[in-house]
Chain A
């Protein structure tokens, strides 16, 4: 160590033989001042030269479009925790799974069901039995044929209550199948689950009741097939080379926390429709960095649902990238839950007063800035109704914002509860900049419009979820996205048995309506019942709908065929670069 310091300092001082010190000044020669200045000059020039050299080196490889290599580049904000279709629960995992696997059906750009691995199917008279014909040219990426047996195996696997490492969190989506719930909750046998492969290409499924959106469900991950060899290797989904997949793309590389690369599967039956040569994902968890990557030509797509863009730059991005900046409505609802089991919020008028005094347009225009739409109902736009969207057929004009009415209602409600003023209460949300801004704005509105005092409090995600489930809150933020394209995906939330109710709302009439909806086959009748249920819920003001979500993203103008669907999922498998 001694030698190193010496040698190092020797090299450093090689050009200077004299130096200053305060006390030694009179001993040293004055010539050393010039020596110091020269040294400074030479250092600066060295830096300048280095800079110029690196500029020269750098400018060659920057700003290339993905079109050059026919490569579509996106960013995932985080590492997918699981790429097992039965285990995945988050958007990041679904983005990859939706590209490397395919189910019986797929959803097209218009939200309509199209054949996937099943080339056709027939439904019985009573609407309960489906017979699927598996296409004969469907193959796994190792060359094996995809058979009906694979589907029977995979669905039963997803329902397995002892599945490793965790039983599927989405197993409940399979409960429409007769015998499924019993098996999954441990009270029935796997042999009683009514899904059967009668031969290699025929799959017969019997449901508990006619379910109009069943075909749409078949395109979701929990219904995807997995290769039967997974029984030999439970960690099959943890690395690219052990995954056997049947979708349009194959994973060729998975560098944990760094990158994922997909390439078209040569055995896919629709190989000719796949135009990209490569789809690659980086994993950068910072919205500013993601934007910087897009601007320097490292990404062809930036923003939701896989990544994010800085919200405070939406306005300037809109101006700068008019063609590339997109806002698409997403079928998700942002709302506040009210704990209806605790006074004073047991009183409907008080709740109504709170809901009526929020200016939702101000929230979406000035706070969230993402082109979201004010919400007055439970079911967002994009969800199918009978012919058109549900929201187009059933207007969400259940109530209007009205300050005067709100004040009156508040006074009446307080009087009914024997209070002179509303005691201060808390609004909680999980730690997040956006949720904080929204809460601050709303609490401000309540103070100015109604004269009520509320404090906001952020809680860490896990703590927040715990408190909300345990009804340990007064007003709490919530969000819900569509699992499948039917209003019942939202309406079903507020039955008294629902594990995601969280408000304490329990109404036997509501439950009865939902039960009826699940038994009815007539589309128009179902919609009517669901509209009734929605009105029933909103009229009690147990929730305060705030806005319908939107997906904000940037995409290079020469990318075509890539879109965000009603759920907010990105579909890129049929994308391509438009030739110039």
Chain B
């Protein structure tokens, strides 16, 4: 098991290196520069700026400089927000994004699995159809539509919640719902179909004929097998929530990383672009890693290491 994790981490580092290099060169290839503005800067001053930031050096030299700093975990300073280090930007914004993200993931899993269960246990009855309906809605409506609708109905019309900001606990409700709408629907569908499959399996019949109570069968046998597709989905779900948070944060005026991620590209804020891209990549890779480890616990048939037994 430990060997497996180490192998995975090494692979992660390799991927990060490739990602960093690719992003760096792509970034340099885009036309425009961090000093662009409608009022053109005199060429002499632009030249001086280039020299100060090292842009006049050949690209490969700039690349080596950047990689060197990266190895020392120095992500540099934002080129647009003066004197703010990339690390500070990430620290400031990530708190909000993390809170929302974790809540959204928890809500998605809990509500999604519940809904899926309810549907599976009421197969072909009203509750089943109703759950499917909600699930289809969730997957088809874009999350910015959900966010705007929630904000308008519950914030402006009903005045149940504040329309923007994250100052009180209640402020989390609307953004989390908006973020988790799609993943919940998806997980509900997954759970439902997987549960239906599992419940019709032979070993469930055996368990029942052994006289085990419904609760024990459900939890100890059926759910553990049915939950596997959901565990698989955690990786893409994290990605979905991270990218979805960009627009949800904008609509609810939350100072998370989403806004910086988009505006850094428009601003050609090279250091911030690199820092944020790598940061998101690390998050996603960790999510995948957790998923892989979780497999081993949920389904003993899946052995994480090759050969006999675990390590």
Chain A contacts to B: CB under 8 angstroms: 1-2, 5-6, 9-10, 12-13, 16-24, 27-28, 36, 40, 51, 54-55, 57-59, 62-63, 78-79, 81-82, 84, 87, 89, 161-162, 165-167, 169, 171-172, 185-186, 234-235, 237-238, 255-258, 282-286, 288-289, 292-293, 295-296, 298, 460-463, 465-467, 469, 479-480, 499-500
Cross-chain contact of B84 among A5, A59, A62, A256 (Cβ < 8 A): A256
A462 lies within 8 A of B32 (CB): yes
A78-B32 contact in complex given A59-B159, A296-B159, C-beta closer than 8 Å: no
B49 at interface, CB cutoff 8 A: yes
| A568 shortest CB reach to chain B, Å | 14
Cross-chain contact of B215 among A10, A20, A161 (Cβ < 8 A): A10
A289 lies within 8 A of B205 (CB): no
Within 8 A of A (CB), among B80-104: 80-84, 88-89, 92-93
In the A-B complex, the 4 residue pairs with the closest CB atoms: A462-B32, A284-B253, A257-B255, A235-B83
A17 lies within 8 A of B114 (CB): no
Cross-chain contact of B164 among A237, A257, A293 (Cβ < 8 A): A293
27 pairs of residues in contact across A and B, judged by CB atoms under 8 Å:
A23-B200, A54-B160, A54-B170, A55-B158, A55-B160, A58-B159, A62-B159, A63-B159, A161-B44, A162-B48, A166-B35, A169-B39, A171-B45, A234-B83, A238-B83, A284-B250, A286-B253, A288-B251, A289-B253, A293-B164, A462-B30, A465-B32, A466-B31, A469-B40, A479-B38, A499-B40, A500-B40
A257-B163 contact in complex given A10-B219, A469-B40, C-beta closer than 8 Å: no
Inter-chain contacts of A23 with B (CB < 8 A): 199-200, 204-205
Inter-chain contacts of B151 with A (CB < 8 A): 288-289, 292
Give Cα distance in the complex from A12 to B116, angstroms. 14
Cross-chain contact of B214 among A19, A59, A292 (Cβ < 8 A): A19
A12 lies within 8 A of B114 (CB): yes
Chain B residue nearest to A168 (CB atoms) is B45
Give Cα distance in the complex from A62 to B32, angstroms. 45
Give Cα distance in the complex from A87 to B45, angstroms. 13
B155 lies within 8 A of A17 (CB): no
Inter-chain contacts of B156 with A (CB < 8 A): 292, 295-296
A185-B44 contact in complex given A9-B223, A22-B123, A256-B84, C-beta closer than 8 Å: yes
Inter-chain contacts of B80 with A (CB < 8 A): 81
- Using C-beta atoms within 8 Å of the partner chain, give the interface range for chain B: 35 or more
Inter-chain contacts of B204 with A (CB < 8 A): 21, 23-24
Give Cα distance in the complex from A284 to B250, angstroms. 7
A17-B214 contact in complex given A237-B82, A257-B259, C-beta closer than 8 Å: yes
Cross-chain contact of A13 among B155, B158, B208, B215 (Cβ < 8 A): B215
Inter-chain contacts of B263 with A (CB < 8 A): 78
A298 lies within 8 A of B36 (CB): no
A238-B82 contact in complex given A289-B151, A462-B33, C-beta closer than 8 Å: yes
Given contacts A238-B82, A255-B255, 8 further A-B contacts (CB under 8 A): A21-B204, A22-B199, A24-B204, A81-B80, A237-B82, A257-B92, A284-B164, A479-B38
B62 at interface, CB cutoff 8 A: no
Give Cα distance in the complex from A9 to B226, angstroms. 13
A283 lies within 8 A of B255 (CB): yes
B42 at interface, CB cutoff 8 A: yes
Chain A residue nearest to B257 (CB atoms) is A257
| B221 shortest CB reach to chain A, Å | 11
A87 lies within 8 A of B31 (CB): no
Q: Which of B156, B208, B215, B223 has the most CB of A within 10 A?
A: B215
A167 lies within 8 A of B49 (CB): yes
B189 at interface, CB cutoff 8 A: no
Give Cα distance in the complex from A465 to B41, angstroms. 12
A298 lies within 8 A of B162 (CB): yes
Inter-chain contacts of A22 with B (CB < 8 A): 123, 196, 199-200
B127 at interface, CB cutoff 8 A: yes
B121 at interface, CB cutoff 8 A: yes
